Amino acid sequence: MTEADTDDPQQTGSGPSISRLWLVSGLALGLLVCVVAGMCALRKKAAAADPEPLKHKVESMVKDLIRDHWNDMRKAVTQLKTDDGARAFFAENPGLATRVPTESTFVEMSRSWRPLLEPLPEALPSIEGHNLTYVKNAEGAEMSYRTPKGTRIFMKWAENKLVEMRVY
């Protein structure tokens, strides 16, 4: 039998040796074990992390987004306490004319709302409760707030202009 007649790579000297294959396989398996252990450790650390900082950051971002509309709602409640304030509010928001055709009609509406209205807090209420809702989409934004006495104030903006207001 000649060297060319054998299929055993160890005898011919070509190909990797058995000990070399075991070494590469062992290193690959060791690397895999390390990666899996690292992923498990990171997952455990992430699961144990305190969610409060993230929660506060998200709440802060949301409040920054809706602050201007909240201030608009506060201003509206203040102005609607008097007939002159209601007239000025209607004049400042011509988009309301699509729902309320005349100033006098709006003033009459505001009179009926006055017993329901109370001053709104300067600071935005918590977004976790159900007292404040805010929806923003391509058409505009809507905000609704339920006062501590249960009155609901609803405002809707389209293209950054107030187009609807209800108090009930």
- How far is Cα 134 from Cα 154, in angstroms, rounded to an integer? 10
pLDDT for residue 55: 81
The three-state secondary structure class of 136 is: strand
Q: Which pLDDT tens digit goes with each residue over 106-164?
A: 999 999 999 999 999 999 988 888 899 999 999 999 999 999 999 999 999 999 999 99
pLDDT for residue 51: 78
The confidence band for 11, taking pLDDT boundaries of 50, 70 and 90, is: low
Is the pLDDT assigned to residue 40 strictly greater than 90? no
Burial label, 165 (beta-carbon count in 10 A; 0-12, 13-18, 19+): buried
- How far is Cα 121 from Cα 103, in angstroms, rounded to an integer? 28
- How far is Cα 106 from Cα 99, in angstroms, rounded to an integer? 10
Looking at mean pLDDT, say which of 10-14, 21-25, 87-91 comes out highest.
Answer: 87-91
Q: What are the structural domain ranges in the chain?
A: 14-48, 52-167
- How far is Cα 150 from Cα 100, in angstroms, rounded to an integer? 24
Burial label, 125 (beta-carbon count in 10 A; 0-12, 13-18, 19+): middle
pLDDT for residue 43: 75
Amino acid, res. 28: A
